[in-house]
Structure 1
Amino acid sequence: MGKRLTWYILAGLVLGGLLGWALNAAYDDGGGAGTKFVENIAYYLDIPTQMFLHLIKMIIAPLVVSTLTVGIAHMGGTGAIGRVGVRAFLWFVCASLVSLTLGLILVNLLQPGVGLNLPLPDVAASSGVDRSAFDAAKFFTHLIPTSAIEAMASNDILQLVIFSLFFGVAMAAVGERAKPLLDGLESLVSVMLTVTGYVMLFAPVAVFCAVARTLATRGLGVVGDLAFFMGSFYIGLFVLWAVLLGACYLVVGRRTGLLLRYLRDPILLGFSTASSEAAYPRTLEALDKFGVPPRIASFVLPLGYSFNLDGSMMYMTFASIFIAQAYGIHLDWGTMITMLLMLMITSKGIAGVPRASLVVITGTLSHFQIPEAGVLLILAVDHFLDMGRTATNVIGNAVAATVVARWEGGFDAPESPDHKIVFPSAPAPGADDSFEDYGKPQA
């Protein structure tokens, strides 16, 4: 079903785009009866997409808690957990700096905002983006859930990670007495992955409706108005892909090509839905089939979705400096580097914040006396850019889990597409699980 699902999603993407473009071209009359007709069609097209995203949200909490708790319990103690955590965060910090720096360099090379010469807006003008969540104190207090049930109900990934960390460490400390609970959670992992398979059957329809709705209401005109900015940003994303996969190749070797093959489904799903949540279950399955030990993938991946959003990182520097260029505001390199470091810190507190990238960009603009209303320049095309950011985030987190797995001793053998995740015991110190010891992956 894996290859067929990829083609079905791709078909939904293309057919949805054609339908949306046709509806916009035929009926959108700039605010009249035709526009209202298109808006009504878009309203109904949004229903299947929202149903699919709700199905995804339905499985996220039990999937994250079960896989992460079992993975931590199988690591064999707090020492192993700390080591994996430190290695993951080192990679996250390095990847974030690379993403931000690439965005800074490319936006200055390509200069997509130079020449627009937009008039400065009124000083009281607002972007309309809610910055209430942009608060360091709130972030740190929000880390700790007041209720595990509430964290599950709200699908707060960061709080679920904290709860699962405590729960998994406690299970490892209890030892044999926790085995029945551990067996139950392992069974829950298998059940949730089966449920994930059922949910993904709806993905092509959701993709078709999401793309059709977006193009029907916004049309290709809004893309054309900022085409150079969008094209420049996507060039940046492709460069970032090359850097991330190149770094993965240096650590993992030729097996990087196999990783990219297994990631086709989650990348395409993340791109077409612009939802990291939609791609999470498929990414976890892809890493398992590739051979990343479940105890590593289930630990690093949720952390990555909170702290390692490489595509979003690039977008923050790219969009912030583009807005300054559009208003003719000159920023020297010292100021831009200061902006980069500020984004490096503040972006780590945006997990779970709606339109998180725009929230951080808005706060950054005001700090450097750039009109925050400039966010409105990119708001119209933000959805199309979010598609690329999400796909990049999927690659970045998969690469992070793969690299950490290599640092932790190696990989399991690649599995067939029908394989279910199984959590083995922690590997013996010094064990060599290099890829060369295994045969070719099953077809």
Structure 2
Amino acid sequence: MMSVTQAAAPQRKPFYKILYVQVLAAIVVGAIVGWLFPDFAKNDWIKAMGDGFVKLIKMLIAPVIFCTVVSGIAHISEVKKVGRVAVKALLYFEVISTFALALGLIVANLLRPGAGFQGQSNASAVAGYAKQASEMKSVDFVLHIIPDTVVGAFAQGDILQVLLFSILFGFALMTLGERGHTIRGFIDDAAHAIFGVIAIVVKAAPIGAFGAMAYTIGRYGPQALGNLAGLIATFYLTSITFVVVVLGIVARVAGFSIFRFLKYIKDELLIVLGTSSSESVLPQLMEKLERLGCSKPVVGLVVPTGYSFNLDGTNIYMTLATLFIAQAMNIDLSFGEQLTILIVAMLTSKGASGITGAGFITLAGTLAAVRPELVPGMAIVLGIDKFMSECRALTNLCGNGVACVVVAWWEGELDREKLKVALDSNIDPTEVEVAVTTG
């Protein structure tokens, strides 16, 4: 069985060498540079710092998923167990996603952030997003899960395609029994090496966070937050409420504190804040969840699947932004139409996974399905979508982390002792040591 264990605690490092401190400082410096020197911050090389770091991480996502899922499945002997974990994960995703969608609707109705809005709307600015949304079909989404070739799935880095092949390969390796021992050992060793690469790459996180934040502020400017600050504040407040209250209650039922969990993944949260991409920390999150006591099969199945089916931040954004646009355009939505929004958003949030700008595209799909006349109003929020995407990514990350722990607990695959020790400790992702044993 492959297990991830923490090495003996090193001597305490100076605070300026701790990753989350470096990332936080880089975000602050990047924001200042973007504000004071916007022309310099808009340089292609500055933008490349953030984009380059995200690409470095993304190149490792496919092999991490493959090794983790295959190893997890191949080392268990009960086929029904894998299916049971998958069903429990999907059931959890749907229930929590419904809470996220409903919370967005409730807050939008109570606070009415779009009422009295006086901004300008340019329908042509969102034509591309609306076109992509109109082309999304459930059958296309299902067929897209099946890669044209195995190599193509890895080359494109499509999470669901890699996950499908990994599950099939893991089951095939499971049936080989002792004959598959050599391949299992090779995959275990490969996972060890890949996490070593991650430990090297993540050292560049402060550079990536600086570049991404400097370019964002330099490109859009602080004034981009001006007349839409109310929507941004409402969205962030709603997301914080969801994480603290909804996920907090779920975490408490599962026997751990949401605040200690957030402290445990603070490095990943800061990297996501700087890069606006939850995928930029997927490998580190999976590794940390194993350290937390979640079994490898659960981590391998729940986390990659959650990145497509458990988008809590995106769900909150869709219902909140839909009602904001309706309020800004003075269009009243009945209770029945708002209920339709919830149902449609539940489907569209799955259909656009893996598409660039998925949050904005799913919003277009939701609006087109409920009230097509609202689609041009997307231009109202287009200018601040970059700032909204950061909160979407942060909430999605928190939701998937909690989901993995909860499913592991539900399945009886959570090591309580490791959970307690890990939540009381501080782990620097740049000092990952993976110990691999086979049994």
> Structure 2: how far apart are the matches of 1:59 and 1:117?
45
Instruction: Provide the rounded CA distance (Å) in 2 between the counterparts of 1:336 and 1:285.
Output: 39
Residue 191 (structure 1) shift: 0.6
User: Is this contact kept in 1: 2:71–2:170, CA < 8 A?
Assistant: yes
1:386 counterpart (385, 389, 392): 389
Residue by residue over 1:405-436, the C-alpha shift from the partner in whole angstroms, topping out at 9 and shown as x without a partner, is 111114232457444265776xxxxxxxxxxx
Find the aligned partners of 2:335 and 2:231 in 1 and give their Cα distance.
Answer: 21
Query: In 2, are the aligned partners of 1:112 and 1:232 still within 8 Å (CA)?
Result: yes
In 2, the alpha carbon distance for the partners of 1:191 and 1:121 equals 50
Instruction: Report the 3-state secondary structure (helix = DSSP H, G, I; strand = E; otherwise coil) of the residue aligned with 1:128.
Output: helix
Give the Å deviation of 1:38: 4.6
Of 147, 150, 175, the residue aligned with 2:149 is 147
Question: How far is the alpha carbon of 1:126 from its aligned partner?
Answer: 5.0
Q: Which aligned pairs between 1:45-194 and structure 2 lie closer than 5 A? A: 45-116=46-117, 127-129=127-129, 130-131=132-133, 134-194=136-196
How much has 1:133 moved relative to structure 2?
5.0
- The CA deviation string for residues 329-380 of structure 1, in whole angstroms up to 9 with x for no partner, is 0001111011110111221122211111111111222221333121111111
Residue of structure 2 equivalent to 1:20: 34
TM-score scaled by length of structure 2: 0.89
Q: Shift of the alpha carbon at 1:118?
A: 6.0
Q: Tell me how far apart the structure 2 counterparts of residues 79 and 63 of structure 1 sit (CA, whole Å).
A: 24
Per mean C-alpha deviation after superposition, the further-off stretch among 411-420 and 337-346 is 411-420
3-state DSSP of counterpart to 2:94 = helix
Q: Secondary structure at the match of 2:174?
A: helix
- The structure carrying a bigger helix percent of its residues is 2
Match 1:6 to one of 20, 36, 48: 20
CA contact (8 A) 2:252 2:258 kept: no
SS in 1 for 2:373: coil
- Residues 166/223 of structure 1: CA separation in 2 closer, same or farther (3 Å cut): same
Aligned-pair distance for 1:131?
Answer: 2.7
Q: Secondary structure at the match of 2:367?
A: helix
Spell out the pairing of 1:228-243 with structure 2 (5 A cutoff). 228-243=230-245
Cα distance in 2, alignment partners of residues 421 and 358 from structure 1: 41
List gaps (5 residues or longer) in structure 2. 1-12
Q: Which residue, 387, 411, 414 being the options, matches 1:411?
A: 414
Residues 1:274 and 1:280: Cα distance change in structure 2 (over 3 Å): same
- Matched to 1:15, the amino acid is V
Q: TM-score, normalised by structure 1?
A: 0.88
Conserved 8 A contact 1:343-1:360: yes
CA distance in 1, matches of 2:47, 2:274: 14
Question: Gaps (5+ residues) in structure 1?
Answer: 25-36, 426-443
- Rounded Cα–Cα distance in structure 2 between residues aligned with 1:111 and 1:256: 29
Following the alignment from structure 1 to structure 2, what is the Cα–Cα distance between the partners of residues 176 and 4? 44
Task: Establish whether residue 288 from structure 1 lines up as the match of residue 290 from structure 2.
Answer: yes
Higher relative contact order (CA 8 A, sep 6+): 2
| 8 A Cα contact 1:73 1:169, kept in partner | yes
- Moved >3 Å (runs of 4+): 117-122, 124-127, 254-258, 414-419, 421-425
Change (3 A) 1:127 1:321: farther
Higher mean displacement: 402-411 or 202-211: 402-411
Residues 357, 279 of structure 1: alpha-carbon distance in 2 compared, 3 angstrom cutoff: same
CA distance in 1 between counterparts of 2:437 and 2:255 reads: 25
The aligned amino acid for 1:199 is: V
How much has 1:77 moved relative to structure 2?
2.5
Distance in 2 between residues matched to 1:310 and 1:14, nearest whole Å? 27
Alignment CA distance shift 1:232-1:294 (3 Å): same
Q: Which one-letter code corresponds to 2:25 in the other structure?
A: A
- One of 249, 252, 255 as aligned partner of 2:254: 252
Give the total of aligned pairs. 411
Q: 1:224 aligns with which of 215, 218, 226?
A: 226
- Asked whether the 8 Å contact 1:241–1:395 carries over to 2, the reply is yes
